Amino acid sequence: MVEKFHAELKALKKKVLEMGELANEMLQKSVESLKNQDTELAGWVLSKKREIVDMDDGVEQRALTLLTLYQPMAKDMRTIACILKMITYLTRIGRYGKDIANVAKEISMRPHIAKLVSIPYMADIVCGMIEDALKAFETGDLSLIQDFAERDDTLDTLRYSIFRECLTYTMEDPKNITRCAHYMMIARYLERCGDHACKIAEKIHFMVTGERIEIK
């Protein structure tokens, strides 16, 4: 019975990792489609929105079944609790990728302003955080997430920098207002995705150690 539970829990963790990889890919490719004005790639991101929702539902159902059948304790219980939180954050990250892809399609016919300000750099940091959080979940290596507070501070700084820069461009030329408004919103989306990565890291830390932390 114990061996079967651990086999099923291992399989469930694998599904969470697959979901995390999809969410991260949706976010990464949405920014890539924006940067390169690639509407086909944006369409690929949009085509995945149902898949990630279905993965969320499927993982949740399997996790609740494991809780009901086996009534796990200690770290096993914390792992399932972590999974139930993670899938919510991962779904939201995928949804932000979908939102950015919609913007990419909407403004694809006009040239970018200032090479998208710092949005691609901001996206690289966020996607790196998500990737490291997933690795920490898979391996239990908390060193991968120990600098998340510093990375999150960098994202906050970049978001405000983008906001100020975009305000300058809109004051210089009213024709820039629509695109800059989109840039500012995307920077906000990316900042929120970084926040979700931090929340995932907090849950992973609790899963591994039994101790709660707050990354801020």
Domain assignment present for 137: yes
CA 203, distance to chain mean position in Å, is 15
Q: Looking at beta carbons, which pairs linking 108-116 to residues 24 or more positions away fall under 8 Å?
A: 108/37, 108/38, 108/39, 108/42, 109/37, 110/179, 112/35, 112/37, 112/179, 113/166, 113/169, 113/176, 113/179, 113/180, 113/183, 114/165, 114/169, 116/34, 116/35, 116/183
Q: How many domains does the chain have?
A: 1
Q: What is the CA radius of gyration of the chain?
A: 19
Amino acid (1-letter code) at residue 66: L
Domain assignment present for 214: no
Nearest to 208 by CA among 134, 141, 132, 130: 141
What would the pLDDT profile of 85-123 be if each residue is shown by its tens digit?
999 999 999 999 999 999 999 999 989 998 888 999 999
pLDDT of residue 51: 98
Domain assignment present for 93: yes
Distance CA 23, CA 89 (A): 10
What would the pLDDT profile of 119-147 be if each residue is shown by its tens digit?
999 999 999 999 999 999 999 999 999 99
Q: Looking at beta carbons, which pairs linking 67-71 to residues 24 or more positions away fall under 8 Å?
A: 69/5, 70/1, 70/5
pLDDT of residue 139: 98
pLDDT of residue 38: 97
Domain assignment present for 177: yes
Domain assignment present for 216: no
**Which residues are CB-neighbours of 87 under 8 A, at least 6 positions away?**
16, 19, 55, 56, 59, 60
> Domain limits at 56?
2-209
Low-confidence ranges of the chain (pLDDT < 70): none
Domain assignment present for 215: no
Q: Please, are residues 8 and 66 in contact by the beta-carbon 8 Å criterion?
A: yes
Domain assignment present for 13: yes
pLDDT of residue 1: 74
Give the domain CATH number at 173: 1.20.58.220
